[in-house]
Amino acid sequence: MSLLEFYRFGGAYAEVGEDETAFGGRRKSRFGVIMVGLAGNPELLVAERAWVRSFWETLRPHAIGAGGYVNAMTEFEEDRVRASYGPVKYERLARVKAQYDPDNVFHLNANIRPALQPI
């Protein structure tokens, strides 16, 4: 019941400038990967998670970055969220967050912590 999907970034996605959106990653043709481990019953979930995590660790040395597309993440470790946007975009988004959500009310997601100084 698991899923492994490789998809291509290209076309209109690759035509947008690197700094024109908040979306992280390089704006040129490349590939993305989504892995989903599904279990038919709770007893199989541990094995599915182990398979997905093991495969991810196997792919990481071949990846351009350790981040990912945040809408496809299920675990939001701060280092991966930062890597998903890259340092420049992350800091810009953190300054925006400091202005509009300085108390970090909206944090139950791929959280960007508010910067100390807003924009």
Q: How far apart are CA 72 and CA 87, in angstroms?
A: 20
> Any idea which of 62-66, 79-83, 90-94, 100-104 has the lowest mean pLDDT?
62-66
With contact defined as beta carbons under 8 Å apart, do 115 and 91 qualify?
yes
Residue corresponding to tokens 């990653």: 25
Q: Residue 17 — very low, low, confident or very high, per pLDDT cuts 50/70/90?
A: confident
For the four alpha carbons of 48, 51, 57 and 63, in that order, the dihedral sign comes to negative
Contacts of residue 64, Cβ cutoff 8 Å, sequence gap at least 6: 25, 26, 30
- pTM of the entire structure? 0.71
Write down all domains in the chain, each with its CATH number in brackets.
3-85 (3.40.462.20)
Q: What pLDDT was estimated at residue 66?
A: 55
pLDDT in tens, 46-89: 999 899 889 988 988 887 765 567 777 777 788 888 888 888 89
Q: How far apart are CA 12 and CA 24, in angstroms?
A: 15
With contact defined as beta carbons under 8 Å apart, do 74 and 68 qualify?
no
